[in-house]
Amino acid sequence: MVEEFGFGLPPRVFGKKIGETIYSINLLPFGGFVKLHGESSEEGVTYPERAFLNKSKKTRVGILVAGVVMNFILAVVAFSVVYSFSGVPKETKDVKAVEIVKDSPAEAAGIIAGDIIRKVDDKNVASTKEFIGAIEEKKGEEVSLELVREGKVINLTVTPRENPPEGQGPLGVIISTTEVYFPPIWQRPFIGMQLGFKEAIFWGQTIILGLGKIFKDLFAGMPPKDLSGPVGIFVITSEAAKFGILALVNFVGILSVNLAILNIVPFPALDGGRLLFIGIESVLGRKVVPKIESIVHTIGMVILLVLLLAITAHDIQRLIKAGSISGFIDSVLK
């Protein structure tokens, strides 16, 4: 029995009861929650047969895991939509100039975005690694490039810089061997789901590694610098929306994976914390006293709220210090 289905975290701003469930919007815009009847305490239980505490371990595990799985599925769907409409990346053997840095050797030589680089000093290049290696060997020396531009072969000469500005490379050209293609419409949902699943796995691994680094820093006595809370999420979401609906949908997918991973962490008040108590119950052969479990989850929720407020205060401080939204985003993404 679901007593409340809430968007955000309490205190409640608005709520409407439909049937036996209250649907609410809460003040802290961070995730959401589902309040089950008899979730962790026998107090206030009016329907013992429908109370979460009185369900079997298998049923309780299924309920707790369902929220995490749904967050992951939402992420897969979001990424699938993005791939279906923006195209599917495909690896090729064409080293293509994607972007030319202003006032760089590449610009001076006449290389333009869209050029395909075939050779460096008569040496064939079919991957970004081969191209970078060939250019690195010729830093400070004049080299000839064979390009294909709109089906025509063009030969240019260029001198790679020995000490280029950070992030630009010797030539100042961004290259890629990936191109985007659009499968037949009927295939896109299936290919999108396959790539969406891989994307969700990738972000899951990235988030887990990030959490590991945060805990490592905490144990080393260093405060984590790259955490962001509701304010940061709101700012980045607003900026993502400016790039169009697909960028926003993609960001929603990343947030959903984030919520799935965070929610399974074995910390009190989170689904992972409740799963931990079911595990303890299995080891002990009896339930943990409901009142004790309730107190532990309440303490956990207080700690999470205090942490959330601290992160929010830090976000506001960074926003003021940055002086602009773009500066704040740069500080978040560093």
pLDDT digits (tens, 9 = 90+) for 41-84: 666 667 777 877 778 888 888 988 988 898 899 899 999 999 88
| Structure confidence at residue 198 (pLDDT) | 92
Mean pLDDT on 102-121: 89
Selected residue with higher pLDDT from 17 and 316: 17
pLDDT at 186 over 70: yes
Prediction pTM value: 0.72
Domains present along the chain, CATH in parentheses: 2-86 (no CATH), 88-181 (2.30.42.10), 188-333 (no CATH)
Phi, psi of 180 (to 5 degrees): -100, 130
Selected residue with higher pLDDT from 26 and 43: 26
pLDDT at 141 over 60: yes
| Structure confidence at residue 201 (pLDDT) | 92
pLDDT, the chain, mean: 83
| Structure confidence at residue 259 (pLDDT) | 85
Per-residue pLDDT band at 333 (split at 50, 70, 90): low
pLDDT at 326 over 70: no
Rounded Cα–Cα distance for residues 334 and 196 (Å): 26
pLDDT at 126 over 70: yes
Selected residue with higher pLDDT from 272 and 210: 272
Q: Which amino acid is at 172?
A: G
Of 264, 252, 300, the closest CA to residue 68 belongs to 264
Count of CA atoms in the C-beta half-sphere (13 A) of 102:
0
| Structure confidence at residue 80 (pLDDT) | 92
Per-residue pLDDT band at 282 (split at 50, 70, 90): confident
Cβ pair 84, 98 in contact under 8 A: no
pLDDT at 328 over 60: no
Cβ pair 226, 315 in contact under 8 A: no
Lowest mean pLDDT among 36-40, 52-56, 83-87, 151-155: 36-40
Range with the largest mean pLDDT of 5-9, 45-49, 228-232, 283-287: 283-287
pLDDT at 242 over 80: no
Phi, psi of 62 (to 5 degrees): -60, -40
